[in-house]
Amino acid sequence: MSAKDLKPNYHHGDLHDSLLQAATLIIREAGVDGLSMRKLADRVGVSRTAPYHHFRDKQALLSELALKGFRQYSQQIDALFSDPALDGTQRLEQFVRHYLKFALDNPELYNLMFGQALWKSGSPSDALRTEAHATFRDFVKRVGDWQQQGVLPAGCETLRFAQVAWSTLHGLCRLVNDGIYVEASSIDEICATLLSLFRQQLGAISPAG
């Protein structure tokens, strides 16, 4: 037998995927902090150390979850940009709203993808690093397009603008997700302000103009 997919009563079937799936559920219910390797194993119905034959350690498991998150995110964004009914301005607005929605709908996943747990102290897997970089490159490219289309200001290096814009989006997501400030009700207004700021349409600075 070559394909392991067809044997549901091997030792487990496909423990690797079952673990990822169960981990996703636990994280949704109890947050990343509520996920332990032991509870995870228990949930799937195997012994405590069984997962260690499929993931080097807990971080490796989390890395794969984050990786799946990036794939999911990219897919959603690609879908958004392949809609031919939207012009550049609408795409920018939709992108911003979608980014926030993704982060706010999946706070724990977002935290995994863009949090210190995986990135700090150098552990992220190569696959994760690659995928994340691709995601950022993609964003920079879109910012460049928007600049060319006159949707975003052109008198500014694309990379720098992209870094600042991403900082803004990321910062807002974190402030909300981490419970630091902003009730959900204000988000639409903040989002509008943020878009006006990016487009440099906040009104004249000098009253002497």
Partner DNA sequence: GGCTTTATTTTGACGCTGTCAAGATAGGGT
Partner DNA sequence: ACCCTATCTTGACAGCGTCAAAATAAAGCC
Q: How far apart are CA 31 and CA 23, in angstroms?
A: 10
Q: How far apart are CA 51 and CA 19, in angstroms?
A: 7
Taking CB under 7 A as the criterion, the residue among 17, 21, 29, 38 binding DNA is 38
**54 binding DNA? (CB under 7 A):** yes
Taking CB under 7 A as the criterion, the residue among 28, 53, 101, 160 binding DNA is 53
Torsion angle defined by CA atoms of residues 99, 111, 21 and 2, in that order, rounded to the nearest 10 degrees: 90
Q: How far apart are CA 16 and CA 196, in angstroms?
A: 46
- Closest separation in Å from C-beta 41 to DNA: 7
Q: Which residues contact 29 (CB under 8 A, 6 or more apart)?
A: none
Residue nearer to DNA on the CB measure, 22 or 41: 41
- Closest separation in Å from C-beta 11 to a second copy: 35
| Closest listed residue to residue 198, CA positions, set 140, 147, 139, 138 | 147
**50 binding DNA? (CB under 7 A):** yes
**177 binding a second copy? (CB under 8 A):** yes
**Binding string, residues 141-170; x marks residues near a second copy by CB under 8 A:** ---------xxxxxxxx--xx-xx-xxxxx
**Binding string, residues 58-77; x marks residues near DNA by CB under 7 A:** xx------------------
CA distances from 188 to 60, 66, 101, 136, 194 (A): 36, 27, 11, 24, 10
Rg (CA), the chain: 21
- Cα four-point dihedral sign 162, 168, 172, 177: positive
Q: Which of DNA, a second copy, none does residue 53 bind (CB under 5 to 8 Å by kind)?
A: DNA
**What DSSP state is assigned to residue 120?**
G
Given the rule CB under 7 A, which residues bind DNA?
A: 1-2, 4, 7, 9-12, 15, 35-39, 41, 45-50, 52-54, 57-59
Given the rule CB under 8 A, which residues bind a second copy?
A: 111, 114-116, 119-122, 132, 136, 150-157, 160-161, 163-164, 166-175, 177-182, 186, 189-190, 193-194, 196-208
